[in-house]
Chains A and B, each alone.
Chain A
Amino acid sequence: MLVALTQLLVCQLLGEVMARAFDLAIPGPVIGMGLLLCILLYRESVPESLSQTANGILAHLSLLFVPAGVGVVAHLAILGNEWQAILGSLIGSTVITVLVTGWVLQKMHRRKNDAT
């Protein structure tokens, strides 16, 4: 577990360094994810320890959003003035995005399956 955690941190650190060194628009952790993905795809299989640690962190993924979410108290003024627009935009856009993405993927998979 300690080894796996270190592997994750090393990937993130390399990602952060690359993002700053080359002034990339892509955030460090995403570059880190890309790096790890390339390494894992190159290898035969995913190491068991890394797999367990990743599952452990991702199982409680939603907990990690709580501190940022509480930031709502710092923006009560903006939210108070513009809550209709913000809520309307968030609900409308989320529903449309779920529909479009799901529909496109299901349609294209169907077509492929029908063809074979």
Chain B
Amino acid sequence: MSGVALVIVSHSVQLAEGVVELAAQMAKDVALRAAGGTDDGRIGTSFDKVNDAVTELRAAGHDVAILTDLGSATMTVESVLDFLDEEEAAHVKFADGPLVEGAVAAAVTAQVGGDLDAVVAAGRARELFS
């Protein structure tokens, strides 16, 4: 199925994988990719890991929502988005929300067939803080 997919970007390999594990529990049909840590597995984020995950999911026909853990992960994601051409950029969006709640809410929304905008809105998870 080629619904909306998620890329979870964290400074920590384990945190990204853990969030994917948690989100998958309520979203068994959603494509979830962890992009945690630097290229060599240190704490940090990797332009290439994020870009590769996005490219792979787009090639499989998914729209892609991306979530991050901290500000510099967000800057890495925004850099990746800047390098997409205009047509691709319409299919890849950043959901600026709390990572764990946002990922679960976004994954569930994708599971029930929400489109990219709905998934991103869920990922922002504003209502959890209102």
Are chains A and B native binding partners rather than an unrelated pairing? no
Q: Which residues of B contact A (CB under 8 A)?
A: none
